[in-house]
Amino acid sequence: MSHPFLALTESDKEEMLRTIGVSSIDELFRDLPARVRLGRELDLEPPLSEQELSAHMAELASRNVDTTRELSFLGAGIYDHYVPAVVDTVLQRGEFLTAYTPYQPEMSQGVLQSIFEYQTAICELTGMDVSNASGYDGTTVTADACYIAKHATGRTKIVVTEATSPQVRQVVKTYAPGFGLDVVEVPHRGGTTDVDSLAAASKDAAAVIFQQPNFFGCLEPAPDLAAVANEAEALSIAHVDPLSLGVLEAPGRYGCAIALGEGQAAGNVMAYGGPHYGFLAARQDFIRRMPGRIVGETVDIEGKRGYVLTLQTREQHIRREKATSNITTNQTLLALGGLVYLSWLGPQGLREVGEACLSLAEHAKRRLQERGFELVFDKPTFKEFAVRVGRNAREVVRDARARGVHPGYALGRDYEGMDDVLLVAVTEKRTAAEIDRLADVLAEVAR
């Protein structure tokens, strides 16, 4: 019986078995002890044709509520930004989609050059000297940076602000025991990090991690936080939103050692959480401590410019237990999506997207305040802000969704004493009319 993904005919099989010198396919498995063989058919549903599969998957997809069916102000780390058609077109090129890690550079100049360009774009965004080819997401690159900090400083304390994404903190805490690191969290004061409290916690720290804009959407006094870390001779690590970097200062310009973050906002669809890419860039000092792939420029035997995976003695396949990370498969295709998106945007487009988010979010704040809602923090924000909704925010979310609007993230899920607080995200995809609808619905369901 044929299968669309299997190529051998019965006569192929017979001829091949003859060449091998065995009489049956079963004989190929003669090294397997009888006790470890399954000896029955896998208990799975029968195979589906492509047509049947399409129908089944469409049915599953129909039971998710996506942003084409519900007006969404949900953010908290993953954002509903516009992804242009050029991204899909490039990522569907089979030569990119179906290649693997460019171990053989002469076969892989397309991927290698695009990663080199990606590294350049990330360095330009962040003001850093060196970027890797991508990490899994914004959480795992932060854990990677802690490993850099441990080895660069020989210290064992990681300081992270409480206004940093809860998921980022959770992942750092999961990795920390294996790395031999302790994690200390510094509370926020009025929505941003207090410089003096951070300074007190940062003594003998390997790294100081903060997020800009922070999880509440507030703008941290980032240059001051970086200065605190540098003063303590800890690595200053900024977790940043790539789409903010057309309007917000680059971490490299205010002295950070490492800039990293979740790349999704720049060129990836939300896709219920992935796959996306994490970016990680650093000052030149850390180039030999970077985790994962890095592409470098070189020449071929005729002197022609080309690109190769480089500094591989950092990596697991060479250095094994002494590697700077265990990462192998990364998120190249998603990072390529990021590069295509940034090329489409250009510097002017990046600035305009940032300005649109900023202006729309400010407008949303005003509209909600006009309806009597109180902002939780009196701090400047970028595209997200926290607002009190007068009763349990999870119930407000439920009731607003019943009216076709997802009004945001209930912060009480992560922070004590914030049960009545919503975190509202406003991207460039939202309009003034949609913001009015949010205000109307919230006024209806809150209180």
Residue 369: which residues within 8 A CB-CB, separation 6 or more?
375
Q: How many residues does the chain have?
A: 447
* Contact code string over 298-317 relative to another protein, x by CB under 8 A: xxxxx-x-xxx-xxxx-xxx
Q: Are 399 and 445 in contact (CB under 8 A)?
A: yes
Single-letter amino acid code for the residue at 122: I
136 binds another protein (CB under 8 A): yes
Beta strand pairing status for 409-410 and 421-425?
antiparallel
Decide whether 186 or 290 has the Cβ nearer to another protein.
Answer: 290
Compute how many residues bind another protein; rule: CB under 8 A.
209
Q: Are 244 and 213 in contact (CB under 8 A)?
A: yes
Q: Which residues pair with 185 in a beta bridge?
A: 160
Q: Which member of 153, 156, 162, 179 binds another protein (CB under 8 A)?
A: 179
Terminal-residue alpha carbon distance, the chain: 64
Place of tokens 């310009």: 253
For residue 234, give the DSSP letter: P
The Cα 382–Cα 299 span in angstroms is 44
Decide whether 37 or 203 has the Cβ nearer to another protein.
Answer: 37
Contacting another protein within 137-166 (CB under 8 A)? 137-140, 147
The Cα 208–Cα 257 span in angstroms is 10
* Contact code string over 190-209 relative to another protein, x by CB under 8 A: --------------------
Closest by alpha carbon to 216, among 422, 430, 364? 422
Decide whether 203 or 347 has the Cβ nearer to another protein.
Answer: 347
Decide whether 25 or 200 has the Cβ nearer to another protein.
Answer: 25
14 binds another protein (CB under 8 A): no
Decide whether 13 or 203 has the Cβ nearer to another protein.
Answer: 13
Q: Which member of 200, 204, 392, 431 binds another protein (CB under 8 A)?
A: 431
Q: Which member of 195, 227, 287, 375 binds another protein (CB under 8 A)?
A: 287
Q: Are 423 and 414 in contact (CB under 8 A)?
A: no
Q: Least CB distance from residue 229 to another protein, whole Å?
A: 17
293 binds another protein (CB under 8 A): yes
Q: Least CB distance from residue 17 to another protein, whole Å?
A: 7
Q: Least CB distance from residue 216 to another protein, whole Å?
A: 15
* Contact code string over 78-117 relative to another protein, x by CB under 8 A: x-x---x-x-xxx-xxxxxxxxxxxxxxxxxxxx-xxxxx
Contacting another protein within 224-243 (CB under 8 A)? none
Annotate 382-439 with DSSP letters as a single string: SSEEEEE-SS-HHHHHHHHHTTTEE--EEGGGTSTT-TTEEEEE--TT--HHHHHHHH
Could you tell me the CA-to-CA distances from 188 to 30, 174, 270, 423 in Å, in that order?
A: 64, 22, 28, 16
Q: Least CB distance from residue 151 to another protein, whole Å?
A: 11
Q: Least CB distance from residue 202 to another protein, whole Å?
A: 21
Using DSSP's 3-state secondary structure scheme, residue 324 falls into: coil
Q: Are 242 and 79 in contact (CB under 8 A)?
A: no
Stretch that binds another protein, among 203-211, 231-239, 335-343, 439-447 (CB under 8 A): 335-343
Using DSSP's 3-state secondary structure scheme, residue 237 falls into: strand
Q: Least CB distance from residue 397 to another protein, whole Å?
A: 7
Residue 429: which residues within 8 A CB-CB, separation 6 or more?
80, 81, 82
Stretch that binds another protein, among 170-178, 198-206, 230-238, 438-446 (CB under 8 A): 170-178
How big is the chain by its Cα radius of gyration, in Å? 25
182 binds another protein (CB under 8 A): no
Stretch that binds another protein, among 126-134, 155-163, 183-191, 225-233 (CB under 8 A): 126-134
Q: Are 424 and 350 in contact (CB under 8 A)?
A: no
* Contact code string over 350-389 relative to another protein, x by CB under 8 A: xxxx-xx-xxxxxx----------------x-x-------
* Contact code string over 29-48 relative to another protein, x by CB under 8 A: xxxxx-xxxx--xxxxxxxx
Contacting another protein within 389-418 (CB under 8 A)? 397-398, 401, 406, 409
Q: Are 364 and 436 in contact (CB under 8 A)?
A: no
180 binds another protein (CB under 8 A): yes
Decide whether 46 or 154 has the Cβ nearer to another protein.
Answer: 46
Q: Least CB distance from residue 122 to another protein, whole Å?
A: 8
